[in-house]
Amino acid sequence: MMEKPQPFVQPDMIFSVSDASALLKNVVETAFPRIRIRGELSQITRASSGHTYMTIKDSGAAISAIIWRGTPVPFKLEDGLEVIITGRFTTYPARSNYQIICSEIEMAGAGAILKMLEERKRKLAAEGLFDASRKKPLPHLPQRIGVVTSPTGAAFQDIQNRLRERFPVTVVLYPATVQGATAAAEVAAGIEYFNRAKNVDVIIVARGGGALEDLLPFSEEIVVRAAAASEIPLISGVGHEPDWMLIDYAADVRAPTPTGAAEMVVPTKLSLIQELDNLWHRLSNNFTTRLTNAKNRMESIVVKNPRQLIMEHQQRIDDVARTLNIIINGKIVAARGRMDVVAGFQNVFQNKVASLAQSVNHLGQMLNSLSYKNVLARGYAIVRDDKNQIISRADGAHPAAIEFADGVITVQIKQ
């Protein structure tokens, strides 16, 4: 239990509102010149002035808090994040409330940090920033390597030493702080600088090991987005083997350490010499094989005597002549056959005419035998009326003409 302070204001004292507020403000600031409070953030608002207003709370109470513009904040403030605030209590007389002015803010333990990182990872992954299809291959033998790190840190020295051991290349440093409130913005600016300048073949973002809180700048959205947007292949070499920051997922290649990044980006002299030797052997063997094959093809060529070549061509001409004779003779025989056919057309025509005449005679005979004239010749006659219609009955008949075999008699009917 905190000891209750003794009252120093006498009961009969009378204060103005402003005096009472100033007295209360002085008492609160004197009693709490520095205090650390742990709780959960909520109602975070960033004003146009640059100041940040928020509430820190637990299950039983809530306290207003302010972070003045320019106060370092090493991570992104989010609702629900558990933090520890260091600052001093004061009052705000205009609204008659108390608040804490924050001078420092940190995450409350690794659990809160990991929870925040996991939520951020899911968000950025949903945007496709970690997709394998975005990854670019590293250049085989880069001539210039850009490094974004602290110029005084061990990471830069380790990278330089390892590059000198493996293969001589040009190293371009973009100095950036790798810890603290400004680290994320500086690292992102370094990545963007190399992409604008296009003066390097590959980029290494590096930092040595450290506590989880110290490595947080490499998980800030500004850094992750800059790494994902880099058009130049980018290697992340942050922390040690177990450390995984969000930049590792956005980078084209993740190295376990800064030294490992240097090893990935250039081959050793020995391995390069071995690779050249292997290439030479492959080229030599291939060339030898080609020479052997060419020699064998040349040896297989038989050079013939010119007279023999002429005789072979003459033989081909004779073969062609014989073939043409056979074809021409065949054509002539076919033409003669067609002419004989044409010559026989006259006999065929005469036969056809005789056959047609015989058919006509036969048809004439049939016509005569079927004609009613023959019937009339046997004593019959045909009676017709005035409309030249045949009368077949006596009832109501008015004959006008009677046709016999040898002529027609007109009938005059008396009235």
How much is the average pLDDT of 11-31? 74
DSSP symbol at 94: T
Provide the whole-model pTM. Answer: 0.49
Around 39, how many Cα atoms within 13 Å sit in the side-chain half-sphere? 19
127/340: higher pLDDT:
127
Looking at residue 370, the DSSP 8-state letter turns out to be: H
The answer to whether residues 291 and 273 touch, using CB atoms and an 8 Å cutoff, is no
Q: What average pLDDT does the segment 343-362 reach?
A: 75
What is the reported pLDDT for 75?
Answer: 75
* Under 8 Å between Cβ of 59 and 42: no
Burial state string for 283-311 with b = 16 or more CB within 10 A and e = fewer than 16:
eeeeeeeeeeeeeeeeeeeeeeeeeeeee
Whole-number pLDDT of residue 225: 95
What pLDDT is recorded for position 231? Answer: 95
Mean pLDDT of the chain: 82
Instruction: Inform me whether the pLDDT recorded for 378 exceeds 80.
Output: no
The β-bridge relationship of strands 35-46 and 62-67 is: unpaired
Over the stretch 195-228, which tens digit does the pLDDT of each residue have?
Answer: 999 999 999 999 988 777 788 889 899 999 999 9
CA atoms of 393 and 194, how far apart (whole Å): 130
Mean pLDDT along residues 150-177: 90
Q: What is the DSSP letter of 241?
A: T
Grouping H, G, I as helix, E, B as strand and the rest as coil, residue 213 is: coil
Map out the domains of the chain with their CATH numbers. Answer: 17-107 (2.40.50.140), 140-267 (3.40.50.2300), 381-410 (no CATH)
Beta strands 52-57 and 407-410, pairing class: unpaired
For the residues 102-106, what does the mean pLDDT come to? 87
- Is residue 186 over pLDDT 60? yes
Q: What angle do CA 207, 209, 215 make, to 5 degrees?
A: 70
- pLDDT on residue 302: 60
- DSSP labels, 12-79: T----HHHHHHHHHHHHHHH-SSEEEEEEEEEEEE-TTS-EEEEEE-SS-EEEEEE-TT----S---T
Contacts of 249 (CB under 8 A, 6+ apart): 121, 124, 125, 129, 130, 224
98-102, 139-143, 222-226, 274-278 — most confident range: 222-226
pLDDT of residue 275: 64
Ranked by mean pLDDT, which of 1-5, 192-196, 244-248, 371-375 comes out on top? 192-196
Closest CA to 85 of 110, 54, 46: 54
The arithmetic mean of pLDDT across residues 395-408, rounded, is: 78
Residue 368 has pLDDT above 80, yes or no: no
Q: In what order do the strands lie in the sheet with 202-207?
A: 170-175, 144-149, 202-207, 234-238, 253-254
Helix pair 221-229, 109-126: axis angle to 10 deg: 40
